[in-house]
Amino acid sequence: MYKKSYEFIVGLFVLFALLALAFLALKVSGLSVGQINNKTYQITAEFKDIGSLRKGAAVRIAGVEVGAVQDITLQSSYNGFNANVILAINEQYNKIPSSYSAAIQTSGILGDSFVALEPAKINLPDLYSNGYLKNGSTIDLANTSSAINLNTLINTFVSGSQEKK
């Protein structure tokens, strides 16, 4: 004694569950369907260590997402290797002072890594004197802060406390 209405309701429930799983899969992977493709410009930031930073990671200023990591490459330099991180910044944020620095930060203790653009710690009169970051600009090693490795930090803390005993 089954009814077709039960089959229809179960079918709708299964369809809804599949759509919810697809939505969650897209959110977790960082992809999206129907995303508006904003015009962007590219800047490069040089880092000694990028930690767990990945392509597609957010670029933020004051916590507001202004772009994404477009590519990461390894660059040979006179003192070893550096990571060049290409940042795609949304065109609407075209007034970022060229004196800004870049730092790799983490959302929470074990969260995702992202690139934070922030004012450089220099004299205020010099802050806006060099114009704005534009397509092709580079933030060099002197103005970047590499990722903090949690394992190294813990090992330093543990070995430091063992030496005091």
Say how many C-beta atoms besides its own lie within 10 A of residue 67's C-beta. Answer: 24
**pLDDT (tens place) for every residue of the chain, 165 residues total:** 567 788 888 999 999 999 999 888 877 766 555 444 568 999 999 998 888 889 988 999 998 999 999 999 998 877 788 899 999 999 998 888 888 899 998 887 767 889 999 987 655 455 445 688 889 888 888 888 877 776 777 778 777 655 555
- Residues near 2 by beta carbon (within 8 Å), at least 6 away in sequence: none
pLDDT of residue 128: 47
Q: How many residues does the chain have?
A: 165
Is the distance from CB of 47 to CB of 101 less than 8 angstroms? Answer: no
Average pLDDT, the chain: 81
For residue 22, give the 3-state DSSP assignment. Answer: helix
Is the distance from CB of 116 to CB of 105 less than 8 angstroms? Answer: yes
Is the distance from CB of 56 to CB of 31 less than 8 angstroms? Answer: no
